[in-house]
Amino acid sequence: MKVSKQNLRNQMRSILKAGVANFPERSAAVCNQIRQRPFWNTARTVGLFCPLPDEPDLLGLMKDKNRCYVFPRILGESLVWHEVSDVEVLKPTHSRGSAPLREPCEGGLVALEDIDLLLVPGLAFTFEGARLGRGGGYYDRVLASLGPRTVTAGVCFEFQVLETLPLEAHDLPVQHICTA
């Protein structure tokens, strides 16, 4: 029996909700895995995201001050990227379910093509890079707009990596998976 995207999203949300207690430790392990990858060493401009309560918290990566960090802000149906040097400028804006999204309230705009490494959230991934997002299509549109020089890595917890996912034509994969 084929599982629909919405059913799988609901299943993953339930599993994530049950595992919140271990997320800080697992987030630190995901950050360590990212730091060990060759693409981390060469990335000068890194696209991060402010985590929802059930997503890996990658803000610890910002301790490396030799990089420019950019965060998305929703603008209509798109994401625009702002340079952020201090997490204090990430403020609650839109709401995603019961959790507020934190977005940059200041910082210069950075063009998508200037991002060397884009770390991408998702509810589920495959080891081949297929991704199930939260349903808004924001990251699918970003992935479709990236040039060939930007490295993309999906970040998630180990139990979010599945054998297969229900996919549609507009679902684009990431190049790497970082999980713990």
pLDDT range class, residue 59, cuts 50, 70, 90: very high
Number of domains in the chain: 1
Residues 119/48, Cβ–Cβ less than 8 Å: yes
Q: Rounded CA gap, 10 and 25, in Å?
A: 24
* Percent of the chain topping pLDDT 70: 94
The predicted-structure confidence for 144-175, as pLDDT tens digits, reads as follows 999 999 999 999 999 999 999 998 888 899 99
- pLDDT at residue 11 above 90? yes
- pLDDT at residue 2 above 90? no
- pLDDT at residue 97 above 80? no
Q: Rounded CA gap, 109 and 119, in Å?
A: 18
- pLDDT at residue 22 above 70? yes
Provide the whole-model pTM: 0.93
What pLDDT is attached to residue 98? 59
What pLDDT is attached to residue 12? 94
The CATH number covering residue 74 comes to 3.40.50.10420
- pLDDT at residue 96 above 80? no
95 burial via Cβ count (<10 Å: 0-12, 13-18, 19+): exposed
Residues 154/176, Cβ–Cβ less than 8 Å: yes
What pLDDT is attached to residue 21? 62
What pLDDT is attached to residue 70? 98
150 burial via Cβ count (<10 Å: 0-12, 13-18, 19+): buried
Residues 171/130, Cβ–Cβ less than 8 Å: yes
Q: Rounded CA gap, 161 and 135, in Å?
A: 18
pLDDT range class, residue 111, cuts 50, 70, 90: very high
- Which helix (H) or strand (E) segment holds residue 72: the answer is strand 68-75
Boundaries of domain holding 143 = 5-179
What pLDDT is attached to residue 175? 98
